[in-house]
Chains A and B, each alone.
Chain A
Amino acid sequence: MTRKFRKALSKAATVSIIVIIIIAVAAGIAYYYYQSAAPAPTATTTTSTISSPSPTQTTTSTAATKPKISVIKIGLIEPLTGSHAVFGQEAKEAAELAVDVINNELGGIKSLGGAKLQLIVQDSGESPDNARLAAEKLISQYHPNIVIGAYISRLTAAVAEVTERSHTILFMDGLVDDLTQHGWKYVFRAAPKASAHGKSAVDFIIDMAKKKGIKVKTAIVLNEDSVFGTYVGNGATLELVKNGIKVLDHITYPYDISDVSSIINKIKSEKPDVVISVPYFHDAVLIAKAIKSQGIHLMFIAGAGGCGYTDPDSIKAAGDAVLYYTQTYSFNPFRPTKWDQKLVSMFKEKYGKIPTEAGGIILYTMFTIYAGLEKAGQMYPNDPLNPDNLRNVFLSLDLTDNNSIAGQLYPTGHIKFLPNGDNEYAGTAILQVQRINGTLQPVLVWPEPQPGVQPVFPRPDWTPSG
């Protein structure tokens, strides 16, 4: 058997490697040229190499001072497969809805002659090497004017390296703080960063305590130990310390934890006034149920980080246990503005659920891009899609409820970008699980409670013993 094998090796060696690889490579090249040749617009547009930052768009005249733009390409890179697919899928749905609204209902980008948005979606998979391939594919083949992606921080970082090199604007929907700290020039992030979620949860408690005349003295911070959870937890801890609240313990645990008893015992023995908890999904249910069954009565338990206690699935799984728990969100599906309500109901009609974190971020990101493109047509009529011009446009935006759809969709109603790409007025909304007409529902309680709703603080079962 061994001899046969050696024979196969010897004969196959040179010939088969060279032939097969060359065929594979040739097929790849042929495919690539076929692909890039097919959608080539008019003769004036050449497929530019990546080093050239000039945006390629459908142009009909070369000499005219004002180029006619009919299509603006928006690339979307999201994890559509693997363990984060649920987020990527929702992001894709939200992006499709937003593009549909912008193109059909709003008539495209008016200042650019009604140019339509074209969404090009790529799957980043689960690993950064795949995310980088997705980004290179998008950039080198479709030459998008703006890219959005990629929810998970390490995937976003891989995408950002590619978009930076090709001078393409990247709107990040990854929330981890350090994504805007690498000196990347063409990145923007409308969504509140991770630590802002932790900060919001604490600010909510301090605000409520002040209104009710209660003093919060001690806290325990719990977070699942992903990079996101860590940043949220640290943001909460910093804000607690800043406000003179003693952090008795900062507990981290794996998001797929199956036994929370050691965490619960610590809470029981250290008796903090409040717990700030940064859960994923099922750990939230475990913690809430354990706290209820152990009969622990705290002043308040606030969730942070966009998922966990107030999601419809968690309420279904935990029932009464999550009553009065709160959670911070990057998107507020209950904001009483015209466009927030309109898009949420459209989303619900189309996909049968309300947009949560992943979809909501994409909605206001898309409409921020919409506002930017409208402004680009006015500010730079001759070269609106040049990435440096686009960057200036986005830096000059000041979107509020009154002047934009994006403002109406944003939890704080205000988007203005700092030079590092973060939103100066970033903030989260806080939802609380309350019993409305006998059913448990998430309702908006902060920064402005929704009509007919009052935040419940402290927890009714808490007795101020001291």
Chain B
Amino acid sequence: MALSEWVRESRKYILGTIILVLVLAFIPFIIGFDQYLLLILSTAAIFAVFVVAWNIIGGYAGQLDLGAFAYIALGGIVAAQLLVVYNITPWIGMFVGAGVSAVLAAAIGYPTFRFGIKEVWYALLTAALVVILNNIFHLPEVLGSLDHYLPPANGWYYLKFPVYENIYWFILAMLAIVVFINLWVSKSKVGYYLRAIREDELAAEALGIDVRKYKLEALVLYAAILGFMGYVYIVIAGTYSYHTFDSPHSIAIAIMGIIGGLGSIAGALTSAITLKVVEEYLRASIGATIPGIHLLIYGLLLIIIGIFKPDGLAGIYESLKKRRTSGRKKISGGGNP
């Protein structure tokens, strides 16, 4: 799709995204640069980037991908190692990281889609990918057992600061870009193909859609975005090691994507930000009094949303509207894979 055409068609959303990001970017001034709140916002925003990226493969293409941190950690570690070993700025390293993650995704995705691995098997495969990479990076020849540290220096060259506002604004800028990529995918031919694949892969194939090609494209795009943002995640985590290939975090991203509503950018954004904030609120307020209770409540919340809103948060608005216009007819959209 031509750029001008895309801009014309999605003008409303582009404008909305810009306003949203500007509003979010203004928050540090309201909260007086409180570092704790800024860190929550940064963490929530970076997870929002991950979830919106996940939306491409999980939402549009309908592939339940549980391997987010395979790409995040790989891209991040590549950028971090380039910085630590060769003193190459992450501004270059992040692109290299994105490239490496994309190549991995292509290498994994090609045979996966070629041999028709899908649904629960695809989920298992991607979940296993995180564990496999975790083990590979644990080898003494790769990262070994040790914790690796970024250089102590701060500044834009390192994209690393003692305070969070700069990194927060950087993440917001990335968030806007990733939302635009999503909008572009959503409005383009690829987006329609992907959604067709999600709804019924056989039918899509029968219509002449090159299912393998478009699924692979979605996967590579998703992996590249995650690989690019990996370094930023490492900056927030402080250290990197084989532990960065984190299975629970990977599953959390898929859960946020599903809760948000498959294929909905607004839903993905909302669910990532609210779930991350709620999680941290529960951890900080009651996590130390009754250890573990916050995880229990968080899990219960997810179950409740899962039972009452299988369409995710995006479905809430839709069902409200439905109720207003055509009585209490229950809708069954969403297309959970």
Taking Cβ atoms with an 8 Å cutoff, the residues of A that contact B are: 1-2, 4-18, 20-22, 24-25, 28-29, 31-32, 49-50, 80-81, 85, 88-89, 92, 121-123, 125-130, 132-134, 136-137, 139-141, 153-154, 157-158, 161, 165, 176, 178, 182-183, 225-227, 229-230, 252
Contact = CB atoms under 8 A, between A and B. Distances in A.
A127 B243 CA distance: 9
A17 B20 contact: yes
Interface string B171-211: 00000000000000010000000011001000000000000
A134 B24 contact: no
Nearest to A136: B36
B238 A132 contact: yes
Contacts of A129: 43, 233, 236-237
A227 B147 contact: yes
Nearest to B284: A137
Contact of A8 (B41, B264, B270): B264
Given A4-B333, A132-B39, A154-B239, A20 B270 contact: yes
A182 B149 CA distance: 9
Given A128-B238, A225-B145, A8 B317 contact: yes
Contacts of B333: 1, 4-5, 8
Nearest to A4: B333
Contacts of B327: none
Contacts of A140: 34-37
A24 B23 CA distance: 13
A283 to B, nearest CB: 15
Nearest to A183: B152
* Of A18, A121, A136, A139, most B-chain CB atoms within 10 Å: A136
Given A9-B264, A129-B43, A157-B149, A2 B196 contact: yes
B162 interface: yes
A178 B199 contact: no
Interface stretch (B80-88, B94-102, B114-122, B273-281): B273-281
Given A4-B333, A8-B261, A13-B13, A230 B146 contact: yes
A16 B238 CA distance: 34
B334 interface: yes
Contacts of A132: 39, 236-238
Interface residues of B, number: 79
B266 A154 contact: no
A161 B162 CA distance: 8
The A interface is mostly helix, strand or loop, or mixed, namely: helix
Interface string B244-258: 001011000000000
Interface string B95-115: 000000000000000000000
B40 interface: yes
Interface in B110-162: 138, 140, 144-147, 149, 152, 162
B23 A22 contact: yes
Report, nearest first, the 8 A-B pairs whose CB atoms are least far apart: A14-B16, A80-B291, A140-B36, A123-B287, A8-B318, A121-B288, A136-B36, A128-B237
Given A1-B335, A8-B311, A140-B34, 10 more contacts: A8-B261, A8-B317, A9-B266, A12-B317, A85-B291, A128-B238, A136-B36, A161-B238, A227-B145, A252-B145
Interface in B294-337: 294-295, 311, 313-315, 317-318, 321, 331-335
B317 A11 contact: yes
Nearest to A140: B36
Contact of B238 (A5, A29, A158): A158
Contacts of A130: 283
Contacts of A13: 12-13, 16, 265-266
B92 interface: no
Contact of B264 (A5, A154, A165): A5
For B24, B30, B239, B313, the residue with the greatest tally of chain A CB atoms inside 10 Å of its CB is B239
Contacts of B24: 21
B3 interface: no
A7 B318 contact: yes
Nearest to A122: B288
A126 B19 CA distance: 36
B269 interface: yes
Given A123-B283, A128-B237, A133-B280, A14 B147 contact: no
18 contacts: A13-B16, A16-B313, A21-B270, A81-B287, A88-B291, A123-B288, A128-B239, A133-B40, A133-B43, A133-B280, A134-B284, A140-B36, A154-B241, A157-B149, A176-B147, A183-B152, A225-B145, A226-B145
Nearest to A227: B145
Contacts of B27: 25
Contacts of A133: 36, 39-40, 43, 280, 283-284
B2 interface: no
Nearest to A128: B237
Given A20-B270, A80-B288, A130-B283, A28 B277 contact: yes
Contacts of A161: 238
B1 interface: no
Contacts of A81: 287, 291-292, 294-295
A136 B33 CA distance: 12
Given A17-B266, A227-B146, A141 B196 contact: no
B20 A14 contact: yes
B236 to A, nearest CB: 5
B36 A5 contact: no
A136 B164 CA distance: 11
B28 to A, nearest CB: 11
Contacts of A12: 264, 266-267, 314, 317-318
Contacts of B30: 29
Contacts of A11: 317-318, 321
Given A132-B238, A230-B144, A9 B314 contact: yes
Most buried by A among B138, B284, B314: B284
